[in-house]
């Protein structure tokens, strides 16, 4: 199954808003990379999900709500409409008109200031909520990685390096929560190239299955989480990591730097 096929399977759940943070982030990155097939599938999936609204039991809003809304809308429409001019305004009224204009300018200015304040507050609230969501997602990922690394049900997979210059890596595979691969003192791939994980199937002649990509940090550390590995670990013979061009590859383009046999 190609990368695009894997992401295609997530589209309906994404449109439904049911993906967990890790999967959602992966799919959004894939969409941002410009996959036209997935973007089109997402538009249709959004329509499909919107049809679920018809499952709601029939209900009718009160007449009061209709009245309130129309009252508000009429008032706003009147306020937006320019006033009628009149040639028969008595001379003595111009003073009152001038005063009214001054008052209107002042209240308009005050309203504009108020709107600016409200917009600033709204923008700040939006930013805070976004930051919070980001932190929650990071926390959820960190918790998940910690459980995978420490749970007694996780299977340890040592990953030997093909070169003596490279450090050994270690992967942990938890049947329900996913795979975590951790590395230290890992040299940075050249240019914008990336490290990519592959799942090597046991099936004779089976092609390596592309998985997540990662680049180590400035200290040479990385932690890679695969949230949705194959359900059955027994169908995988080994894990391997290669260096690939930016954005990853559908099939390996270089020899594995690390390989870890399973079982």
Each residue of 130-166: b (16+ CB within 10 Å) or e?
eeeeeeeeeeebeebbebbeeeeebeebebebeeeeb
Task: Provide, rounded to whole angstroms, the least separation between the CB of residue 116 and another protein.
Answer: 13
The smaller minimum CB distance to another protein, of residues 189 and 229, is found at: 229
CB of 250 vs another protein, minimal distance in Å: 23
User: Least separation, in Å, of the C-beta of 259 and another protein?
Assistant: 27
Minimum distance between the CB of residue 253 and another protein, rounded to whole angstroms?
31
How far apart, in whole angstroms, are the C-alpha atoms of residue 263 and residue 155? 9
Minimum CB distance to another protein, residue 96 (Å)? 28
Question: Angle, nearest 10°, between helix axes 93-150 and 21-32?
Answer: 110
- For another protein, give the closer residue by CB, 61 or 95: 61
Reduced to 3 states (helix: H, G, I; strand: E, B; else coil), residue 4 is helix
Contacting residues toward another protein, per CB under 8 A: 9, 12-13, 16-20, 23, 40, 43-62, 64-66, 68-70, 72-74, 76-77, 80-81, 118, 122, 125-126, 176, 231
One DSSP character per residue, 84-107 reads PP-TT--TTHHHHHHHHHHHHHHH
Q: Residue 124 is encoded by which pair of tokens?
A: 């700040």
Query: CA 49, CA 247: separation in Å to the nearest integer?
Result: 30
Choice between 56 and 218, CB closer to another protein:
56
Q: State the nearest-atom distance from the C-beta of 229 to another protein, in Å.
A: 11
Structure-token pair, residue 80:
């937006």
Measure CA 6 to chain center: 16
144/178 Cα distance (integer angstroms): 9
Closer by beta carbon to another protein, 145 or else 244 = 145
Residue nearer to another protein on the CB measure, 118 or 160: 118
Based on CB atoms, which residue is closest to another protein, 230 or 245? Answer: 230
Length of the chain: 263
Contact 159, 258 (CB under 8 A): yes
Shorter beta-carbon distance to another protein: residue 126 or 150? 126
For residue 87, the minimal CB distance to another protein (Å) is 26
DSSP assignment of 107-121 equals HHHHHHHHHHHHHHH
């Amino acid at each position: 199954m190609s990368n695009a096929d894997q992401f295609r399977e997530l589209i309906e759940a994404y449109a439904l808003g049911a993906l967990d943070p890790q999967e959602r982030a992966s799919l959004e990155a894939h969409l941002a990379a410009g996959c036209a097939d997935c973007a089109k599938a997402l538009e249709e999936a959004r329509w499909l999900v919107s049809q679920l609204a018809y499952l709601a039991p029939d209900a009718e809003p009160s007449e009061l709500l209709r009245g309130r809304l129309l009252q508000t809308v009429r008032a706003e429409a009147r306020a937006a409409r320019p006033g009628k001019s009149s040639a028969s305004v008595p001379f003595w009224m111009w003073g009152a008109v001038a005063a009214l204009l001054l008052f209107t300018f002042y209240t308009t200015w005050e309203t504009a200031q108020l709107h600016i304040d409200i917009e600033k507050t709204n923008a700040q609230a939006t930013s805070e909520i976004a930051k919070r969501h980001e932190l929650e997602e990071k926390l959820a990922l960190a918790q998940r990685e910690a459980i995978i690394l420490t749970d007694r049900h996780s299977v340890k997979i040592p990953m030997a390096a093909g070169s003596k210059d490279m450090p050994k890596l270690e992967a942990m595979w938890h049947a329900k929560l996913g795979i975590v691969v951790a590395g230290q003192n890992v040299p940075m791939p050249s240019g914008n190239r990336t490290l990519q994980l592959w799942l090597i199937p046991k099936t004779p002649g089976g092609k390596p299955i592309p998985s997540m990509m990662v680049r180590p940090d400035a200290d040479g550390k990385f932690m890679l989480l695969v949230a949705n590995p194959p359900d059955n670990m027994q169908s995988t013979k080994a894990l391997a990591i290669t260096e690939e061009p930016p954005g990853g590859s559908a099939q390996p383009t270089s020899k594995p730097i690390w390989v870890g046999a399973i079982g």
